[in-house]
Chains A and B, each alone.
Chain A
Amino acid sequence: MNLTPIVNKTNSQVSVFWKSLRRNPMGLVGLAMLIAILAVAVFAPLIAPVHTAEITSKDIYNAPNSTHWLGTDDAGNDVLANFILGSRVSLIVGFFAAFISIVIGGLIGIIAGFYGGRVENTLMRITDIMLVIPDLPLMVVIIALTKPSLFNIIFVIGIFGWTTTARVVRSQTLAVKSRKFVLRARAIGAGNMHIIRHHILPLVLPILVVQAVLTVSSAILNESTLSFLGLGDPTAPSWGQMLNFAFSRGAMSTGAWWALVVPGFGIVWVVLGLTLFGQGLEQVLNPRLDTHHLMPGRPVVQSETAQLPSSEKILLDVRNLSINYINDDKAPARAVENVSFTLKEGELIGLVGESGCGKTTLMLALLRLLPAAGQIVNGKVFFNGKDLTALNEDEINAVRWKEISIVFQGAMNALNPVRTVGDQIAEAIIKHMPGFPHDLRLQERVVELLELVGIAADHKDHYPHQYSGGMRQRAMIAMALACNPQVIIADEPTTALDVMIQAQILELLDSLRKKLGLAIIFVTHDLGVVAEMCDHVLVMYGGVTAEYADVDTIYNEARHPYTQELLKAFPDLTKPKKKLSSIPGYPPRLDALPAGCRFAPRCPRVYARCHTEQPILYKLSDNHIASCHLLEASK
């Protein structure tokens, strides 16, 4: 195996790791605490104060003073000196016992997770038994029946401390094993050992490291507990033993708090240091989103005032809406810029763009559902003449679902797994129709809604996991219809569904629109899907409007190069032999937008100006706008 790239790799990974650890105060504090106590333990014989004076009965339980900085204990010994020397015992037991636990737990976890079947069953049953058996009483029994020596203590703590590690490692191994790259490695012809070494271990290792840190801390706690219970090695006094002596030999009654506080402080210091470091490591190695949907949103900012909507027939009027994602470290990402469109009653508008072009952000902003980092930085959303961007939380809550509802992309994730589907539909009705009777009528209404979307009544009390993918999407639609809204936002409702189910859902939405007079905003990345049912199409690219026109114009007289290229990339069934044309390159990242036109790097008709200047929106006809410098002349 050639070593160079691996060294490079670890270097880069280590440096990335360091960078994120540096920004993790918890991990850093923990690390500093550990380094401090390790230094104390290593240099213990050098720094521990030495008192050669003979000990007399007057030296017992002396309060802290200038000779004995932390006082003396029941035998007249210096507490500070014992504390420093005791750190060695605690740390040695902690590290060696944890080593035993990690080796056993890691092996069991990986073997069980990787090989599965009987092996896994047996190993995990053993682990379960070990978990259920109370470990401290068992350790007490075993050490009481053997000789309390340092070796025995390490061994006993180590042999009982692996269960958590085994469980964690097993579930991580299972998760890694089920990932496609392991299947791909098998397809390449790699054997089990190769797969474990190159694909399982590297991904299990981070978790094993975190687990090791936490195991050390619990081993140290266990050691101190056993010592406190009088089961420590008498030749190697640890902090636990100091506490044992102090507690059982009158420190309480003499009020010698120093003899009790100091050793305990040592244990807390090490364990807290390890815990903080472990948590910090965990956060660095396994970063999670630190935002959630209940965090307060950012206030709406308006930089210009727009006039009130003119036409009466317009239901939803989005004007110059701009949305940024605020990032503490970097400049804000301009996710949506200056997008306008209108929606009339009963109209179906298609919002088309590649993933990451800001479509979902735009839709969430309409109902002010942006994640915590998202902020409306300009623009208005008029709904029936009312500006949604100016409403407070209670006012917008009254609009949500009652007037405008959403069919989310992944119905599996948008349905609460522990509540029945019927219950979740009823919830919306209860919320928005306070007069609605909470009895049989409500249940009838739920059944009626389910039947409207083609789900039989007996599925009402089933949970989402008992539904198939297509049924979940239907249930999501039924839920969206629950309060008779005027507008439905369908956010990629058919992505990830099979073609036939996709066709069923599209047909359902179209028929509901006609039957109930709904206005629908249909978000999709697939131009083909919307062609057959939309009235208008808004094509977005990199957060801006590329082109906006009625459906016929978009498909037959597109003026923006992006729309044109996108249409060419489509397989045309009427000309099956035709080679597909593709758009080279990839959509821009919102945090690294090009300076000029956002499509310039991929555009086949790009010229110098495109790289420096962002095109404005050109109005080509009453119903057709596009943003491309090429259109300036044709205006």
Chain B
Amino acid sequence: MSKDHFLEIRGLKKYFDADRPSLRFASREMRHVHAVDGVDLSLQHSEVIALVGESGCGKSTLALLLMGLEESTAGTISFEGRDITHLKEHERKGLRRKIQMVFQDPYESLNPTQNIEEIINEPLLVHGIGKNKQDRDQRVKKALEDSGLKPADVYLQRFPHELSGGQRQRVVIAAALVLEPEILLADEPVSMLDVSIRAEIINLLAELRITRKIAVIFITHDLGSVGFFADRVAVMYLGRIVEIGTMLEVLEKPQHPYTKALLSVIPVPNPRLRRERIILQGETPNPIDVPTGCRFHPRCPVAMWTCKASDPPFTTLSKTHQAACLLLVK
């Protein structure tokens, strides 16, 4: 294991039971939702990786697995060389300081009965950080100001409902930053926000990786929003990564037909640039009955008959760029 790879995911799987146990008397085998179905991924210090895919592709489940909020079915996650796949809650506590998460909906992820100070102070109390109240106050203020809520004093006594969506998302980020994490998982942090606000949250995350050297896993369904600050982009489909590469490789030379389609449908605010769009028909199949062979073949515009039969391996296109498509296998 290279020393650089401080977060390593190997063959990670998460299956949920599709049938409730109480309904099984019509007896057939328990079916599973293949939410995450064999993901390999590594992350380096202060690297930003974007995880892109449609809803149901397993990207949010992957985040919960990394946070230890869901128990994985198979595979390993190791952090700084230590296997953290199946830790007990008390063993995980120290780790939680280092891996933090920002959730999608800023309206739902703040407790309406706590004021901003309590919200940001809470992680410190849970982990017993800070020598005294003064020390904690300073940490709280620093986290707030680093998240762009300046001056912090104005916000401390306010309640979430008094803030706008963008400000709330900054509070959520501050509550994660106060623990001084090394990895930040951001699960669709801007999808609930207006376009004019999105840019500033993305800019904030981009700044943090520079000022605080935080590695960011940025989960989104919108390939368009990852361009400016992601180092690498991983595209997920039905529980698997189908293409991974540096940002420029994926955005400018996409190889997997799914990536190409995703890229082609991103709205571009320029009517003179009417492009050919590849619109996939139908919807992501449900992850209970995963298609045979290449799981993308039923919707793939360039599928061949062999795609039905064999599951494509990753083809290495460059040192950093890989994609899983039979068309790339030479």
Contacts and interface: CB of A to CB of B under 8 A. Distances in A.
Direct contact of A and B (CB under 8 A): yes
Interface of A: 1-2, 5-6, 8-9, 13, 179-181, 183-191, 194, 198-199, 202-203, 354-355, 468, 470-471, 498-504, 507, 525-529, 531-532, 534, 551-552, 555-556, 565-567, 569-574, 576-584, 586-587
A499 B54 contact: yes
B238 interface: no
A183 B103 contact: yes
B155 to A, nearest CB: 13
Contacts of A471: 283
B179 interface: yes
Contact of B221 (A8, A185, A194, A499): A499
A180 B110 CA distance: 7
A576 B55 CA distance: 24
A586 B157 contact: no
Interface of B: 54-55, 67, 69, 89, 92-93, 96-97, 100-101, 103-105, 108-115, 117-118, 122-123, 125-127, 133, 156-157, 164, 166-167, 172, 175, 179, 194-200, 202-203, 206, 221-225, 227-228, 247-248, 251-252, 261-263, 265-274, 277, 279-281, 283
A184 B268 contact: no
6 contacts: A181-B109, A500-B265, A571-B225, A573-B251, A582-B203, A586-B166
Contact of B111 (A1, A202, A567, A583): A202
A189 B203 contact: no
Contact of B194 (A199, A525, A580): A525
B172 A184 contact: yes
Contacts of B122: 185, 188, 190, 198
Contact of A500 (B54, B100, B126, B200): B54
Interface centre among A6, A190, A578 (most CB of B within 10 A): A190
A184 B175 contact: yes
B89 A191 contact: yes
Given A202-B113, A503-B279, A577-B227, A528 B175 contact: no
Given A183-B103, A186-B69, A578 B228 contact: yes
A199 B119 CA distance: 11
B269 A187 contact: no
A470 B56 CA distance: 13
Main SS class of interface, A:
helix
Given A499-B262, A526-B195, A578-B228, A183 B105 contact: no
Given A189-B127, A501-B283, A573-B251, A566 B196 contact: yes
Given A189-B93, A586-B164, A527 B262 contact: no
Contacts of A470: 283
A138 B199 CA distance: 65
Given A190-B126, A499-B223, A582-B203, 12 more contacts: A5-B118, A5-B156, A5-B157, A189-B96, A199-B111, A355-B194, A525-B195, A528-B266, A531-B271, A573-B263, A576-B248, A580-B198
A603 to B, nearest CB: 12
B133 A184 contact: no
Contacts of A528: 195, 224, 266-269
A186 B197 CA distance: 27
B71 to A, nearest CB: 13
Interface centre among A9, A194, A203 (most CB of B within 10 A): A9
B251 A576 contact: yes
A499 B270 contact: no
Interface centre among A189, A531, A567 (most CB of B within 10 A): A189
Contact of B269 (A13, A190, A531, A581): A531
Q: Which 9 A-B pairs have the closest CB atoms?
A: A528-B267, A576-B227, A582-B200, A582-B199, A189-B96, A503-B265, A580-B199, A180-B109, A180-B108
Contacts of B96: 187-189
Given A188-B123, A189-B93, A573 B224 contact: yes
Interface centre among B172, B199, B222, B248 (most CB of A within 10 A): B199
Contacts of A1: 125
Nearest to A6: B118
Nearest to A187: B101
A500 B112 CA distance: 34
B200 A584 contact: yes
A556 B269 CA distance: 10
Given A189-B126, A190-B126, A504-B279, A576 B269 contact: no
Contacts of A5: 115, 117-118, 156-157
B54 A527 contact: no
